[in-house]
Structure 1
Amino acid sequence: MKPVNTENTEHYTWGDNCDGWHLVKSANLSVIQELVPPGCKEVRHYHEHSEQFFFILSGIATIEVDGKEYKLHPQQGIHVPAQTPHQLKNKHEEHLCFIVTSTPPSHGDRVLV
């Protein structure tokens, strides 16, 4: 066991210049810190089995969940149940940094809509 951060964990890229760091990656839990540049977004999708919680660290997230749009500011979060279509966007001029927690882990569980 050791403290984790973006400098000592597995890094990956996704979408248009977005970054992710696996802070926790186990069979039952995924905790990822993600960085989304201005104007970038993920594709609309849902997870067959995984539920997720998005928690904003900095910037402003626009997230559509099951047809309803929410604007999340730092220190705010939202729960997305399994099988619920959603899409996260950064519509603002500053980078968006957030934590997404998934149980079970969501990689390989994504269905595009």
Structure 2
Amino acid sequence: MAVFHVNQIKGTEFPAGRLTKVIAGPGAPAEPDHFVMGQVTIYPDGEIPVHHHEQEEIYYIAKGTGICELDGQQHPIVQGSYIHIPSQSHHYLKNTGEDEMIMLFCYAPKGTVEHWQQELNLVGGNE
């Protein structure tokens, strides 16, 4: 058994206005065999752009308010909301509040989702 703290993780700043910290998964202090988990701080007016992937996923909103879109349908979200995202579903999350949104995600099977690198490449002019 090991105990970690999320403040030990530097994370990745994304151009769409968020900081993502993988707390369990590839390259994280804890590396479970079957899933990935992380914490995302979405800044006011920031977002996770529309994307989809093989992994089934859950978003849990620990703090904040916003809009989630799942396969073209928009849903208001508040602290305590959670969203089940089936495999290959197009989804999007935007912070519409005045404060930071804190979201936890968990997806399986374990792997790296491609949309992170795609977003970073677009800003760098590589795509």
- Which sections of structure 2, spanning at least 5 residues, go unmatched? 26-30, 119-127
Q: Distance in 1 between matches of 2:71 and 2:99?
A: 26
Cα root mean square deviation, aligned: 1.9
Q: Structure 2 matches for 1:1-113, cutoff 5 A?
A: 1-9=1-9, 11-25=11-25, 26=31, 27-47=33-53, 49-105=54-110, 107-110=112-115
Q: Tell me the amino acid that sits aligned with residue 12 of structure 2.
A: Y
Instruction: State percent identity of aligned pairs.
Output: 19
Structure 1 or 2: more helix by fraction = 2
Q: Do the aligned partners of 1:15 and 1:41 also contact (CA within 8 Å) in 2? A: no
Unmatched runs of 5 consecutive residues or more in structure 1:
none
Bigger-Rg structure (1/2): 2
Q: Deviations over 1:41-63 (max 9, x none)?
A: 1221111x201100011011311
Moved over 6 A (4+): none
Higher relative strand content:
1
Of the structure 1 ranges 34-43 and 18-27, higher mean CA displacement relative to structure 2 is found in 18-27
Tell me how far apart the structure 2 counterparts of residues 18 and 92 of structure 1 sit (CA, whole Å).
Answer: 14
Whose relative contact order is higher, 1 or 2, with alpha carbons under 8 Å and at least 6 apart?
A: 1
